[in-house]
Structure formats: structure tokens, C-alpha cells
């Protein structure tokens, strides 16, 4: 099942969380993205609040070549990078993968030079999701 919002797009997968997370990481790498940051939300809520939460990881993905181009067009772009990709277990015991929509995120800047870069990032993220 595909999932879309005004700021992200994704899909629901009928596969175990760990398997999907590993596949997402592999597909990101195939598209030239490295994972610069990672937040295990489940662990952090347990550690900081003593509360249980579903399996949920936020991966901060970055494609260095495209980031280099983006910084050349807009120095403050770092406030919107990296692109977040989340993997979580939903209430139906399915795994969901969602990616930040770079076209929506970079559109708030109003810099036409970023439009093409954002479209390239989105196309790569769409391929990642299609392969999961």
C-alpha cells in the first residue's frame, strides 16, 4: 500500500521490520546515499522517558554529490539536510517506509536552482521505495 502526505511519500510492506530496514539501507547505498545519522526512536523514548514505543528508526540519508550541488546554490540548505527516511511498525503489524519529499521541502526556499536537484533526489528515493 502506498502512503503519501504533503511532505513525504512511502509504502507499507508486509515483511519484518529488521529485514525492511536492512533493505532500505542497501537500496539507499545503491542510489549513492550514505546514512549520516540514525535515531532509534523506540530506544530513545525508553531511555529518556521510560516509555515503550513501536519499532521506529529515522535514517538521515545524504547523497554527497547532490548535496555539494545544493550547497552551491543555497548555503543555508544544511537546515533541510539530510533527507530523512523512516522505517516503523504500524498498528497492523506491517512495516512502513516513508521518505521526506525533497521537492516539497526545498520548495519552501524559493530557489529555482534547487528544483532540478530536488527532483533528482526524489527520483532516487522513489527507486529506493520501489525496490523495498
Per-residue pLDDT reduced to its tens digit, 86-103:
999 999 999 999 999 999
- Domain region containing 111: 2-131
Cα–Cα distance for residue pair 21/12, rounded to 1 Å: 12
Cα–Cα distance for residue pair 18/123, rounded to 1 Å: 25
More confident residue, 126 or 113: 126
- As for how many domains the chain has, the answer is 1
pLDDT at 26 over 80: yes
pLDDT at 1 over 80: no
- Give the mean model confidence (pLDDT) for residues 17-37: 98
Model pTM?
0.93
pLDDT at 106: 86
- Is the bond leading into 58 cis (omega within 30 degrees of zero)? no
CATH of the domain at 113: 3.30.310.70
- Give the mean model confidence (pLDDT) for residues 112-121: 92
Amino acid at each position: 500500500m502506498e502512503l503519501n502526505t504533503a511532505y513525504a511519500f512511502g509504502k507499507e510492506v508486509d515483511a519484518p521490520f529488521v529485514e525492511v530496514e536492512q533493505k532500505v539501507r542497501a537500496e539507499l547505498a545503491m542510489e549513492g546515499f550514505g546514512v549520516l545519522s540514525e535515531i532509534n526512536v523506540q530506544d530513545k523514548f525508553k531511555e529518556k522517558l521510560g516509555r515503550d514505543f513501536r519499532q521506529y528508526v529515522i535514517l538521515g540519508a545524504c547523497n554527497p554529490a547532490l548535496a555539494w550541488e545544493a550547497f552551491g546554490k543555497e548555503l543555508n540548505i544544511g537546515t533541510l539536510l539530510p533527507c530523512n527516511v523512516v522505517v516503523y511498525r504500524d498498528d497492523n503489524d506491517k512495516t512502513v517506509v516513508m521518505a521526506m519529499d525533497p521537492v516539497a521541502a526545498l520548495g519552501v526556499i524559493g530557489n529555482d536552482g534547487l528544483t532540478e536537484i530536488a527532483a533528482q533526489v526524489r527520483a532516487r528515493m522513489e527507486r529506493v521505495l520501489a525496490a523495498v
